């Protein structure tokens, strides 16, 4: 307990929230009801010594390596948009990755959305999103 309080205090003093200091896997969240509504999978991770422009380039390469299509990179927004169609339904799943400057580093957020009626497992999405997010570090 004291250790967590001490860590939270250190991160607060450094201007970093405890959630941002955690790994992608620990920040992973899911919202929506599988098969009934759209489902969003989200995660983030902070990279204290990685420059935003270099992170964005690495992230775009990782998105392509994970099999996404229609990849667009907006350097002004620090955003990558992509999609994939794996269900055969013609209804794509979408991915948005954003790399924002944060102090001397970069905060990376990713959101993967699947449409109502589509299903996947949390483990598969967590692994894929975190592989992409970790690519920011090189």
Q: Nearest to residue 45, comparing CAs of 13, 65, 63, 19?
A: 19
Distance CA 105, CA 95 (A): 23
Q: Mean pLDDT of all residues in the chain?
A: 87
Per-residue confidence (pLDDT) for residue 9, from 0 to 100: 38
For residue 118, is pLDDT > 60? yes
Query: What pLDDT was estimated at residue 89?
Result: 67
What percent of the chain is modeled with pLDDT above 90?
74
- Cα three-residue angle 96-68-26, rounded to 5 degrees: 50
Angle of helix 122-134 relative to helix 52-65, nearest 10 degrees, comes to 140
What is the pLDDT, as a whole number, of residue 58? 98
Q: In this predicted model, what pLDDT tens digit does every residue of 46-62 receive, in sequence order?
A: 999 999 999 999 999 99
Does residue 24 have a pLDDT over 70? yes
pLDDT score of 15 more than 60: no
Q: What's the pLDDT at 13?
A: 40
Residue 40's Cβ-side half-sphere holds a number of Cα atoms within 13 Å equal to 7
Question: pLDDT per residue over 56-108, tens digit each?
Answer: 999 999 999 999 999 999 999 999 999 998 666 678 999 999 999 999 999 99
The reported pTM is: 0.82
**Residue among 32, 37, 10, 35 nearest 21 (CA):** 10
Helix (H, G, I), strand (E, B) or coil at 93: strand
């Amino acid at each position: 307990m004291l250790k967590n309080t001490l860590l939270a205090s250190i991160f607060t003093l450094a201007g970093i929230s405890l959630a941002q200091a955690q790994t992608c896997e620990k920040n992973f969240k899911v919202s929506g009801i599988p098969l009934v509504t759209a489902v969003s999978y989200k995660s983030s991770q902070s990279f204290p010594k990685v420059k935003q422009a270099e992170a964005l380039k690495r992230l775009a390469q990782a998105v392509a390596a994970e099999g996404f299509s229609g990849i667009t990179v907006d350097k002004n927004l620090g955003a990558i948009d992509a999609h994939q169609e794996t269900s055969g339904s013609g209804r794509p799943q979408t991915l948005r990755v954003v790399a924002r400057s944060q102090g001397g580093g970069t905060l990376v957020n990713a959101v993967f959305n699947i449409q109502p009626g589509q299903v996947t497992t949390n483990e598969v999405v967590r692994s894929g999103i975190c592989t992409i997010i970790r690519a920011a570090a090189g």
